[in-house]
Amino acid sequence: MPPENLLGPEGEGFKLAMQVFDRSRPMIGSFGVGIIQRCLDECIRYATQRQAFGRPIADFQGVGFKIAEMGMRAHAARLLTYDAAWKVSCGRRNSLEAAYAKAFAADSAMWAATEAVQVFGGYGYSEEFPVAKLMRDAKVLQIYEGTSEIQRLIMLRHLTGARGA
């Protein structure tokens, strides 16, 4: 390849690619935050209107605790994502924080979508409500830009210096 077509020094392609991921993974985290928030919003709307035994299903701890957990995970994922993005905007290294944000938001989005389907019961699989699509959207976040397992390997290496197998 001619030198004028290189994006960086020869032999430094992997390092350059990893730097790109450090910048793009907070964006994936933000997608996860959006999915969690949408699951939360949909569950609140549905669970405060749907009645069982003369009460909104949100009144039952089995449903209410799922909603509370979604709120907590949305907030935590948002803060992790903000932290990783802030470091990039300041020109600081953010590999660890980007891995935290991407993995936590993606895994929490998948958890929230699964729980949303549960809150909606049989309706969770129907096209009438958006939670089935949110589950499909959440799953892809755990896979691209580095799987959640790869993010944990990055975390391990940053925290301990271990190579991980």
Q: What is the DSSP track for 41-109?
A: HHHHHHHHH-EETTEEGGGSHHHHHHHHHHHHHHHHHHHHHHHHHHHHHTT---HHHHHHHHHHHHHHH
Half-sphere exposure of residue 110, counting CA atoms within 13 Å on the CB side? 12
42 catalytically annotated: no
Of 42, 97, 115, 145, which residue is the catalytic one?
145
Which residue type sits at 53?
F
d(CA 144, CA 80): 19
Active site members: 145
